[in-house]
Each structure stands twice: as C-alpha cells, then as structure tokens.
Amino acid sequence: MDIQKADVVRSLQGRDAGNLFFVLECDGEYAMIADGRGRRLEKPKKKKLKHLELVGRSDDRTDAKLRSGEKVSNSELRRALADKAGEEEKGGMHIG
C-alpha cells in the first residue's frame, strides 16, 4: 500500500522514531510530514518514504480537509493523532 497525502504514518528512523505524523505532501521518494507539535504545519519535515510506516487512513474531518486542500490547524493535527494513538492502544488499528 502506497503512502499518500493525508495518511497517518509512523517514523521508523531518526530522532522522531516511533512518532505518528500526517503526510502533507508526497512526491517520489520523499514525504513532507507534520504532527502539529514538534513538526508544525508551517515547517514540515522532509522524510524518505522508506523511513516511514503506513499506520492507516482515516475518515475523520482532518483527513478530509488535508485531502481537499482546506486549511488545517496544528491543534487539529494533534487531536487527530492523539485519537489514532488511542485507537492503536485499544487494538482498533492493525499495524504493519
């Protein structure tokens, strides 16, 4: 499954390994990622796709806004990622 815009991914390498992020853009070998806290929307991180693991796609409002190009706030990203982390802990999402 390919990583696309608005997917939730986990960093596998680097200082941010294990953290969840939203994909803001994806082109070829790289993705621009942000989590709304350490990596804000104003300054996303450029990361190689091979260093990212797809956690899942979501159907929430934040995902829809990212896909359509609407403005999203950092707090919306944080809230959506916290929900994803909670789903993971409950076993609601299958991880790689």
Give just the sign of the alpha carbon dihedral 69, 50, 17, 44.
negative
Q: The domain 8-90 is classified under which CATH number: 2.30.30, 1.10.3470, 2.40.50, 1.10.150?
A: 2.30.30
15: tokens are 């200082």
The structure tokens 């999402």 sit at 93
For residues 20 and 55, is the Cβ–Cβ distance under 8 A? yes
Q: State residue 89's pLDDT score.
A: 75
Residues of the chain with pLDDT under 70: 1, 91-96
CB < 8 Å & 24+ apart, contacts of 24-27: 24/66
Q: Residues 53-64: pLDDT tens digits? A: 999 887 789 999
pLDDT at residue 51, rounded to an integer: 97
pLDDT of residue 67: 92
Domain limits, the chain = 8-90
Q: Give the pLDDT confidence score for residue 79 in this predicted structure.
A: 93
